[in-house]
Amino acid sequence: MAAPSESVSVGSRVSCLTCLGQKIRGEVLAFDYQSKMLTLKCPSSSGRAHLSDVYLVNLALVKDVETLLESTEPPPALTALNVTKLTRRMNTEVGEKMSHAHALSMGVTPEGLQLFQTIQKTWTPIKVSKHLEDDHEKWEAPEINFKCHSKGIKDCKWNEKNIIVMDEVTISPPYRMENCKGSEGNALVHVRKIVEKHFKDLEVQKAAQQSPGLAQPAAQQRDTPLAL
Amino acid sequence: MSAVKFAGGRKPGSRPPLGRVRPISRNSLQSPSLVQEAAYINTRMVHVLTSLVGAKCELTVKSGKVFEGIFRTYGPKVELVLEAAHQQKADISPLGPRVEEILDTIVFNPSDYVMMQYKDVDLNFAAREGFTDGVIVRRVNGEHQDRELEPWQGGETANDDNSSLETDVSNGWDPNEMFRYNEENYGVKSTYDSTLSTYTTQLERDDSEEFQKREARAEQLAREIEATTQYRTHTNLEDDERSEEDKFGAVPRRITTAISSERDKESPGGIHPRGRYVPPNQRSRDGLGRGGLRQNSPKFGRQSMTSASHRGGHRYPEQSGSPILESRPLAGGSRGPPVRSQTSPSPKPQVDALPMATIITGSLPAACSSGSFHTSPPQPGSHVPISAQPVLLSLSASPSVASSGGLQVSSVTTSPRSPSPVIPTEQPRSLGSLESHSSSETDTSGRTQMHSPAQDGQEADVLPEPVMPGDSALEPQGIKTVTPGQSTTTWTLSTTTRGSYQTISDVKKNSLEEFKRFSEEFKLPDEKSSVGATETVEPGVPGDSTSLVTGSNDEVRKGLTGSPSTVSDSTCAEDKSDERGHISSSPEGELEKGEKPECEAEQTKKSTLNPNAKEFVLNPSAKPFVPMQKQVQTPTPSRPQQVSPSVMVPQTAAALCSPQPLAGYPTPIIPLSPVPTGYTMPVPVSQHKPYRPSKGAMTPVRSEHPHAQGAQAILHQVSMAPVSAPPLVSYSPAFMPYSPQHFPNQPSLMAYQHPHQGGAVYPSLMQGGSRVLATTQMAPGQPGLVHAPSSSSPQFPPPDTAPHPQTIYVSPTPVPPPYPPPPLHPPLHPHPGSLHSLAAHPSQAASAHAGQAQHNRPVPSPVQHQPAQGPQPQQALYSTALVSQGPHTQAAGYPPPHPGQPQPIYALHHPQHHSYNSPAALAPNQQVHMQSGLPSMGPQPHAAHTAQVVLMAHPQSSAHSGPPPPPPHQGHLPLSGIPSMPVSSATPFAYMTLQPQRERLSVVSTRLRLP
């Protein structure tokens, strides 16, 4: 790496103690001597293998930096980045957060918010969503190809307190299965299944007496394809 | 790079970095001087932070406060920008912040924050991309690094560069490296020993018998294997240095400048029968031409025309329809050849063409006439068998009347284009006669031989092919097909002219002299044609009085066929040639669908012949054959015509003649015949004479016209004429022969032919736009002069437009008769429109013929003519034509044009024809006339010519309405002659050279020009 710092090289494991007393350990991703910025990669706090927590540490406000393990391997090659994808992600995240904030401001119940997040992040057969978007008639397709999943139902928005899914299904408070309304079709069936599973999981969580991690169910479901 | 992208990072509203962030690690070193951009210089830092864009983050400031937001970007000093950030507070519900608690954008200075945490980030998020080509490529070439560009400081040391490239083996194994690797890892020691002793058992050679036997056996087997065609094929493939495109290109591209051989090929290609590839353009043209013919045919009311008409149409289209490619070829063939001939080749072509053309035309005409006459296929076939003579006879007979002009034209065209080729093809068509012709022709040049073979192989096909060859010779390209037809027509015309004028001997002499002159003067691109042609012509002219006669007959036939040719021309010269060669297969086909089969057979033959035809560029020798065949065939054809004129006419009529043949044809024919005679007489003494003879025949022809043969012939002739501007040259020669041959051999036949010619011409004119064009072409062709003018006009104009044109005109004079018919047709079909149509047709035909060039050329001259006389004459002609059409009202039709009589019409036509005939210019003139009121122009020029022509006509076929024709011719001649002069000068010369008649013609043309 280009970092001139003798003490920090890419790939090394270091431990930093910030001025606030936070101790951070991680693998050096990058170090910029000029700005004294250090990026560290730590295992994900959620424990997922392919994810990780990244820290950008301002060494100017760090009490101590300790190199735990000096790296001998050359730094990994840098890959090209899909900036478009990054930009999209940012806009999506911002949009979701703002949408969530708006919904919250509208007085949507926590259940509703949770359901909304769940629906948003539920793996949805691409066929369904696509059909919903493209052609109503195709919704009548008897079978759903579960092998093809989209990343979730992005076409999900708030309308007052109602959740509008794919412009087809409306879920009104209290957001139960019976509150799902819309033209009969795969979309409605699919949404109902999502709602059903959402509350089932929620009950399971409560039963587990887990701390009020309302967001966790959704987070867990995020990468778990909806079992219909 | 990233610096720029992130430059705006500081600003709250700055957008996230755009574009791809590429690592620049190697080159990027932090540099003190770039403190501000330090963060951006550190590519690894840039990469990491960029890959975190859009991720949720929690930023801790010095105060310990935590802000949660979405990382957007960062600045040069690592200012962090968060979107939709909110401060984590205890009072914020676990569900999330409210809208009012969220800040759109917050920028944190590096001095304010302690750290920023991204939770559950997928560092490979941005690196992951869809399974796209771009991704794959990127992966494959993932290691690619941007190299620093170094200024190029060489240029003089190209060798070094190459060597560096060649010696760059970094991408592969070095042989020594491989050897060493194998030796170390596998214990295999490699060498460069070619015996591969390490891997194989060496052959122990001894002296034992066993070994020797085996060795001998092995060698034998090797020889056997190497002797197989397959082996050779493969070897050739390996050794073939041609590009893959050349070897496997599905569509051989024609080269405009094409070599004769290529032209031949092209011409064949253009010809369907030949089976060669027909460029789409040509096809379309064919289709157009056919369509035009059909239109004509409808007017005529002929049913069977479709097939024949189609064919004819094809040819026409080629000439006119496919102006550029085919038309050019055609035009080029006729025109181009003439031009060339004028320059150098013209002589040869002319010479060859004349003889050849005569022969060919004879055969063609015969075929046409026969075809036209023979509504039924059998007749054509019979004709074919009969051989060239019959064809010639028929041709001569029909030509003499109406077709004479057409034949002449065609012959002219042929000569100009590629005398030899055309002739060959024609000869083939003529059949046996062809062979004989070929023999004579062969003497003149290799063409005849070629033609004869082609003929043998493909009688019908030969005709088209020959034409093509001729075109090829003259103009290699698509024109060939057209040219063939034209050439044939021109030849016939020339022959007819000759024949018409008994003075043929003189004419011949003159023509021979002219030819010689041409040969000497003109440096023909076609080596053979020029020399051989001249020679051949000479022999043919003087010695081959019969041949000439036949030629005239041929011309006549062509005229007859000419109508067919027009049709066939539209289809392509092929059809015409086929028809002719097959004994009017095309004509028949055009005229009568029933005959079509035969025509097709002929065409098929043609297809085979085509190749040969190409080879037989030297057809000129064929001329002798033609006469023979023509004579022989003519009789039959004539009968057929009479027999099934209506049938034939309808078919052909659709193409060219049909209209005329039907009703108006007879009349037109008559006028034509008279006119031709008159024309021939006045204009080129010799030529006119031939024409007249044809005219004399024309009287018969007239009789035939009714039959439709005349019409067909006329049509063919017309087409032929237009098609082959070059033919003009040939025409004159052809005329010479024709008159002699026809008259001597078969007056009756001549008469038949004349009628045909006249009819043909008429039809062409009559038919209307397309037909008109065809007619224009045809007419010129039919008259011989006309055709020559049209096709030759372009070519000829350069050389001796004036003189030759005149001569041509003279020959055309015969043609005029045909023209009158055309006018008639116009009336029938609205000639005014027809004129335009003619113009258009001419354009088409011209295009097809190479007519484009010709047309262009002709157009100018014609335009002039038209202005002067064209309009009036044409109109008159047309009107007359109309009148005449109905009843053959030749007189009526004619009168209107110039003197207000049929003749005038003829004259008009003749003028055009003359222009065409005289040189390629004639054709142009005709075309012009056709196109833009050529009549007006034509008349004037023709006037002079016509006068001459008229004289000629009178002598020959005074009975036929010789008087009427002359008038028109005169009027027209002057006009056409003048206009044609420039264009057709070359052709005329060619004609001149070709035959004495031509000279006369040329003289006449000169005279005409003078006026």
- Beta carbons of B114 and A61 less than 8 Å apart: yes
Instruction: Name the most confidently modeled range: B33-42, B310-319, B339-348.
Output: B33-42
Nearest CA-CA distance, residue A51 and chain B, Å: 5
Question: Which tokens sit at B416?
Answer: 């100009």
Tracing tokens 């309808």 back to the chain, one arrives at B650
Q: How far is CA B388 from its chain centroid?
A: 27
Nearest CA-CA distance, residue A15 and chain B, Å: 13
- Mutation choice for A interface testing from B36, B68, B95 by most A CBs within 10 A: B95
- Beta carbons of B115 and A104 less than 8 Å apart: no
Are B655 and B563 within 8 A, CB to CB?
A: yes
Instruction: Name the most confidently modeled range: B94-103, B629-638, B931-940.
Output: B94-103
Please name which of B648, B43, B676, B450 lies closest in space to residue A32, comparing C-alpha atoms: B43
Provide the residue type at B881 as one letter: A
- Beta carbons of B110 and A37 less than 8 Å apart: yes
Smallest Cβ distance to B54: which of A10, A89, A98? A89
Taking phi first (over 0 means left), then psi (-120 to 50 degrees means alpha), and beta for anything else, what does residue B431 get? left
HSE at residue B551, side-chain half, CA atoms within 13 A, is 65
CA distances B890 to B228, B402, B641, B960, Å, are: 67, 12, 19, 10
Q: Which residues of chain A lie closer than 8 angstroms to B9, CB-CB?
A: none
State the angle between helix axes of B404-417 and B545-571 in degrees (0 to 180), rounded to the nearest 10. Answer: 90
- Beta carbons of A20 and B60 less than 8 Å apart: yes
Question: Which tokens sit at B647?
Answer: 């049938």
- Beta carbons of B54 and A82 less than 8 Å apart: no
Pairing of strands B56-61, B113-121: antiparallel
Q: Which residues of chain B lie closer than 8 angstroms to A19, CB-CB?
A: 62, 114
The yes-or-no verdict on residue B585 having pLDDT over 80 is no
pTM: 0.31
Pairing of strands A124-125, A52-58: unpaired
Please name which of B781, B842, B836, B778 lies closest in space to residue B808, comparing C-alpha atoms: B781
Smallest Cβ distance to A35: which of B16, B23, B38? B38
CA distance B232 to B720: 44
> How many inter-chain contacts (A to B, CB under 8 Å) are there?
236
- Beta carbons of B123 and A41 less than 8 Å apart: yes
CA distances A42 to A49, A213, B902, Å, are: 11, 23, 109
Are B335 and B795 within 8 A, CB to CB?
A: yes
Q: Which residues neighbour B155 within 8 Å (Cβ) at sequence distance 6 or greater?
A: none
Helices (H) and strands (E) in chain A, counts: 6, 11
The yes-or-no verdict on residue B102 having pLDDT over 70 is yes
- Beta carbons of B53 and A18 less than 8 Å apart: no
- Beta carbons of A82 and B20 less than 8 Å apart: yes
What is the residue-wise DSSP string for B271-283?
-TTTT----HHHH
- Determine which of A202-211, B277-286, B797-806 has the lowest per-residue pLDDT on average: B797-806
What kind and span of H or E run contains A84? helix A83-105
CA distance B425 to B617: 8
CA distance B164 to A4: 37
B250–A contact, CB cutoff 8 A: no
Instruction: Name the most confidently modeled range: B152-156, B171-175, B281-285, B603-607.
Output: B171-175
Provide the residue type at B9 as one letter: G
CA distances B233 to A105, B224, B247, B364, B756, Å, are: 85, 14, 13, 39, 51
Tracing tokens 């258009």 back to the chain, one arrives at B840
B51–A contact, CB cutoff 8 A: yes
Give the pLDDT mean for B899-917.
39
CA distance B233 to B227: 10
Closest residue of B to A38, CA-based? B45
B54–A contact, CB cutoff 8 A: yes
Helix, strand and coil content of chain A, in percent to the nearest 5, comes to 35, 25, 40
Residues of chain A with pLDDT under 50: 1-5, 126-151, 213-228
Per-residue pLDDT tens over the stretch B389-423 = 333 333 333 333 333 333 333 333 333 333 333 33
- Beta carbons of A2 and B19 less than 8 Å apart: no
Question: Which tokens sit at B239?
Answer: 């050794």
What's the complex ipTM?
Answer: 0.73
- Beta carbons of A212 and B94 less than 8 Å apart: yes
CA distance B309 to A203: 89
B129–A contact, CB cutoff 8 A: yes
Question: Which tokens sit at B585?
Answer: 């297969």
Instruction: Name the most confidently modeled range: B128-142, B147-161, B209-223, B308-322.
Output: B209-223
Q: Which residues neighbour B744 within 8 Å (Cβ) at sequence distance 6 or greater?
A: B499, B545, B546, B549
Per-residue pLDDT tens over the stretch A37-87 = 888 888 887 777 778 889 998 888 888 888 888 877 777 777 888 888 888
Residue-wise over B7-33: b if at least 16 C-beta within 10 A, else e? bbbbeeebebbeebbbbbbeebebeee
- Beta carbons of B21 and A4 less than 8 Å apart: no
The predicted structure's pLDDT at residue B408: 37
CA distance A191 to B507: 103
Nearest CA-CA distance, residue A41 and chain B, Å: 9
- Mutation choice for A interface testing from B4, B112, B120, B141 by most A CBs within 10 A: B120
Smallest Cβ distance to B83: which of A90, A100, A105? A90
CA distance B530 to A115: 97
- Beta carbons of B49 and A56 less than 8 Å apart: yes
B85–A contact, CB cutoff 8 A: no
Residue B47: pLDDT band (50, 70, 90) is confident
Nearest CA-CA distance, residue A166 and chain B, Å: 24
3-state class (DSSP) for residue B80: strand
State the angle between helix axes of B685-707 and B479-500 in degrees (0 to 180), rounded to the nearest 10. Answer: 110
Q: Give chain A's largest Cα–Cα span.
A: 67
Instruction: Name the most confidently modeled range: B148-157, B246-255, B628-637.
Output: B148-157
Pairing of strands A23-32, A124-125: unpaired
Question: Which tokens sit at A121?
Answer: 């992040």
Are B989 and B522 within 8 A, CB to CB?
A: yes
Tracing tokens 């035959």 back to the chain, one arrives at B995
Per-residue pLDDT tens over the stretch B715-765 = 444 334 333 334 343 343 334 444 434 444 443 433 344 434 433 334 333
Smallest Cβ distance to B62: which of A4, A61, A88? A61
Q: Which residues of chain A lie closer than 8 angstroms to B91, CB-CB?
A: none
CA distance B5 to B27: 18
What kind and span of H or E run contains B70? strand B66-74
Question: Phi and psi dihedrals of B57, rounded to 5?
Answer: -145, 160
Give the pLDDT mean for B10-35.
42
B9–A contact, CB cutoff 8 A: no
Q: How far is CA B567 from its chain centroid?
A: 16
CA distance A195 to A206: 17
Are B630 and B553 within 8 A, CB to CB?
A: yes
CA distance A98 to B96: 10
Q: Which residues neighbour A164 within 8 Å (Cβ) at sequence distance 6 or greater?
A: A156, A157, A158, A170, A171
Question: Which tokens sit at B844?
Answer: 């088409």
Question: Which tokens sit at B269?
Answer: 């290609």
CA distance B364 to B107: 95
- Determine which of B204-218, B268-282, B287-301 has the lowest per-residue pLDDT on average: B287-301
Question: Phi and psi dihedrals of A31, rounded to 5?
Answer: -145, 130
Cis peptide before A174 (omega within 30 of 0): yes
Residue B130: pLDDT band (50, 70, 90) is low
Task: Provide the 8-state DSSP code for B33.
Answer: G
Are B664 and B762 within 8 A, CB to CB?
A: yes
Per-residue pLDDT tens over the stretch B613-638 = 554 555 544 444 544 444 444 444 44
Question: Could you give the percent of chain B with pLDDT greater than 90?
Answer: 1
Are B761 and B782 within 8 A, CB to CB?
A: yes
Are B621 and B333 within 8 A, CB to CB?
A: no
Per-residue pLDDT tens over the stretch B475-511 = 333 333 333 333 333 343 343 334 444 444 565 667 6
Q: Which residues of chain A lie closer than 8 angstroms to B113, CB-CB?
A: 58, 61
Please state the length of chain A: 228
- Beta carbons of B80 and A10 less than 8 Å apart: no
Residue B14: pLDDT band (50, 70, 90) is very low
B55–A contact, CB cutoff 8 A: yes
Q: Which residues of chain A lie closer than 8 angstroms to B94, CB-CB?
A: 110, 212, 214-215
Q: Which residues neighbour B456 within 8 Å (Cβ) at sequence distance 6 or greater?
A: B428, B431, B434, B435
- Beta carbons of B18 and A113 less than 8 Å apart: no
Q: Centre a 10 Å sphere on the Cβ of residue B358 and count the other Cβ atoms it contains.
A: 70
Q: Which residues of chain B lie closer than 8 angstroms to A31, CB-CB?
A: 42, 44-45
Burial status of residue B213 (CB atoms within 10 A of its CB: 0-12, 13-18, 19 or more): exposed
- Beta carbons of B47 and A30 less than 8 Å apart: yes
Q: Which residues of chain A lie closer than 8 angstroms to B101, CB-CB?
A: 101
Q: Which residues of chain A lie closer than 8 angstroms to B16, CB-CB?
A: 83, 86-87, 90
The predicted structure's pLDDT at residue B247: 67
* Average pLDDT, rounded, for chain B: 48
Give the pLDDT mean for B960-980.
40
Closest residue of A to B62, CA-based? A20
Closest residue of B to A91, CA-based? B54
> Which ranges of B119-228 does DSSP label H, i.e. alpha helix?
133-140, 158-167, 175-186, 209-227
- Beta carbons of A94 and B95 less than 8 Å apart: no
Question: Which tokens sit at B667?
Answer: 């009349």
Q: Centre a 10 Å sphere on the Cβ of residue B413 and count the other Cβ atoms it contains.
A: 78
The predicted structure's pLDDT at residue B923: 39
Give the pLDDT mean for B20-30.
42
CA distances A163 to A94, A95, A157, Å, are: 19, 15, 6
Q: Which residues neighbour B1010 within 8 Å (Cβ) at sequence distance 6 or greater?
A: B802, B944
Q: Which residues of chain A lie closer than 8 angstroms to B111, CB-CB?
A: 60
B27–A contact, CB cutoff 8 A: no
Q: Which residues of chain A lie closer than 8 angstroms to B72, CB-CB?
A: 90
Task: Provide the 8-state DSSP code for A145.
Answer: -
B113–A contact, CB cutoff 8 A: yes
B1004–A contact, CB cutoff 8 A: no
The predicted structure's pLDDT at residue B276: 61
Per-residue pLDDT tens over the stretch B656-667 = 333 333 333 433
